[in-house]
Amino acid sequence: MSERVWVRIPSTALNIHSQMPGNVFFLVTCSIIFTKIKGGSMKKLLMKYQKIWYALLYVAFYLPCFFFLENRHVESFHIMHSVLDDKIPFVEIFAIPYYLWFPFVIVTYFYLAGHDLNSYKKACAFMFIGMTASLIIYYIYPTSQDLRPDLSTIGRSNICITLMKRMYSGDTPTNVNPSLHVYNSIACAIALWRSNVLKTAKHANFWRYGAAIMAILISASTFLVKQHSIIDVFWGATFALFMFIAIYVVYEKYFEKKSSRQVALD
């Protein structure tokens, strides 16, 4: 259970210039990819990945909304904290899978956009609905967490500690429940696992099981580097399960197959 404590966080602490660099990682990476390719190669690439604009347009919508929520003045936040959180140690090595969330999401959506359009559309629906619903939740029910350790007194220094110092300094501990790191990691793993194209690709099991393992590691990293309470992880995973049932069970069974039968009859 979460600790029902409400705290005041000064609005000056929520500065748009201090936001996590990863929030724009997707757009920056795409820009770099496209500017490095010229002529016919660019045209072929744009044709192959033309549907990636679905995701890019959504990111362009999502980021301003997220920054608004991060920087608005909120009198108090609900602190997400459970007894289990106090028993979970800080494990800095999990900074690596935490940061890998960004390329994991980018690679997943680029692969599906270029190779499996049907799976890509489902993955987009999974992401768009879940992230939009999360924005609404963050607005109605502002949450925060108080789990971060003082890294200056932790007694050790390494690259992972440095990564987490940068993360802590650039990312406010607000809007944490549900965890989108967990939600989107599961969404990517499901999309790749269910992709009919990937199932027949070379080393298919390596990529499918690799995606599942990556989602597990990223989800675990959220509470092991103290970016989220275990409560946030639970609700992120629960929300992902709900969306899996809605898109990959209900939609496929009652709408997608019905549409396929109608096309066959026509």
Q: What is the mean pLDDT of residues 98-126?
A: 93
Whole-angstrom Cα distance, residue 117 to residue 111? Answer: 9
Distance between CA atoms of 22 and 202, rounded to whole angstroms? Answer: 31
Q: Is the dihedral of CA 28, 29, 33, 36 positive or negative?
A: positive
Q: CA of 216: how far to CAs of 21, 98, 131, 181, in Å?
A: 23, 11, 19, 11
Cβ atoms 123, 108 nearer than 8 A: yes
pLDDT band for 229, please (50, 70, 90 cuts): very high
Say how far apart CA 130 and CA 190 lie, in whole Å: 14
DSSP state of 155: S
pLDDT value for 139? 95
More confident residue, 201 or 105: 105
Sign of torsion over alpha carbons 76, 168, 104, 214? negative
Task: Report whether pLDDT(26) > 80.
Answer: no
Helix (H, G, I), strand (E, B) or coil at 238: helix
Query: Do the strands 77-79 and 6-7 form a parallel or antiparallel pair, or are they unpaired?
Result: antiparallel
Distance CA 116, CA 200 (A): 12
| 262 has a pLDDT exceeding 70 | no
pLDDT, tens only, 34-70: 555 455 565 555 556 667 888 889 999 999 999 999 8
- Nearest in space to 138 (alpha carbons), one of 14, 12, 17: 14
Q: Which amino acid is at 217?
A: L
pLDDT at 8 over 50: no
Do the beta carbons of residue 230 and residue 179 sit within 8 Å? no
Residues paired with 79 in a beta bridge:
144
Indicate the range of 43-52, 107-116, 209-218, 237-246 predicted with least confidence: 43-52
Mean pLDDT comparison of 13-27, 117-131, 251-265, highest-scoring range: 117-131
Amino acid letter for position 35: T
Confidence label for 24 from pLDDT (cuts 50, 70 and 90): low
pLDDT tens digits, 76-109: 899 999 999 999 999 999 999 999 999 999 999 9
Cα distances (Å, whole numbers) of residue 66 to 52, 137, 189, 195: 21, 12, 24, 30
Q: Which residues of 41-65 are buried (b: 16+ CB within 10 A; e: fewer)?
A: eeeeeeeebeebebbeeebeebeee
Give residue 72's pLDDT: 87
Distances (CA, A) of 251 to 106, 111, 143: 25, 23, 32
pLDDT digits (tens, 9 = 90+) for 149-187: 999 888 889 999 999 999 998 888 999 999 999 999 999
Is the Cβ–Cβ distance between 224 and 91 less than 8 Å? yes
Q: Which residue has the tokens 């049932």?
A: 245
Cβ-contact 14, 67 below 8 angstroms: no
Residues 6+ apart with CB under 8 A from 154: 90, 161
**Average per-residue pLDDT for the chain:** 83
Contact 79, 7 (CB under 8 A): yes
Beta-ladder partners of 6: 78
